[in-house]
Amino acid sequence: MLDTNTVSYIVKASSPTARAHLTSLSTDEVACISCITAAELWYGLAKVGASRRRLNSLRDFLERLQVLPWGREEAVAYGTFRAKQEAVGKPLGPFDTQIAAHAIAVGAVLVSHDAAFQRAAGLPGLEVWATDL
């Protein structure tokens, strides 16, 4: 499951290493994002008044990934994850909490350059693909 920053690095071509990781996934690996990540990406482009070209680039990129919806299981994972993070004094931001909970609910490795996720207990895995930044 790609986090917002990883998608941004790939779409903007600012991390050739992250793009190479994505294109080298094996046939049994599926690239996906949370619907929360999709929302953050669209918000970011709307906020800056992105050009039609940038909007189309993101649209084209997202069409090649699975965008996973939120449902009951994700809501349960969110409640449990958020309570645990707060209990140990390591809460994440609201969207990071939702994205981490989504990865937990679907059993996905989270791919992010955000160090905050290192505090996210219970993730099935955490990888950094954008090692060239």
Q: What pLDDT, on a 0 to 100 scale, did the predictor assign at position 23?
A: 96
Q: Which domains does the chain have, with CATH numbers?
A: 4-127 (3.40.50.1010)
At 21 the pLDDT is 97
d(CA 9, CA 74): 26
Q: What is the mean pLDDT of each run of 10 residues along the chain (133 residues)?
A: 97 97 95 98 98 96 96 98 96 97 98 96 97 97
101 within 8 A of 74, measured Cβ to Cβ? yes
pTM (two decimals): 0.95
Give the Cα separation of 54 and 115 in Å (integer): 27
Name which of 11, 25, 19 is nearest 109 in CA terms: 25
Of the candidates 11, 10, 17, which has an alpha carbon nearest to the alpha carbon of residue 131? 17
Q: Rounded to an integer, what is the distance from CA 50 to the centroid of its chain? A: 21
Per-residue pLDDT reduced to its tens digit, 43-74: 999 999 999 999 999 999 999 999 999 999 99
Q: Rounded to a whole number, what is the largest CA-CA distance in the chain?
A: 44
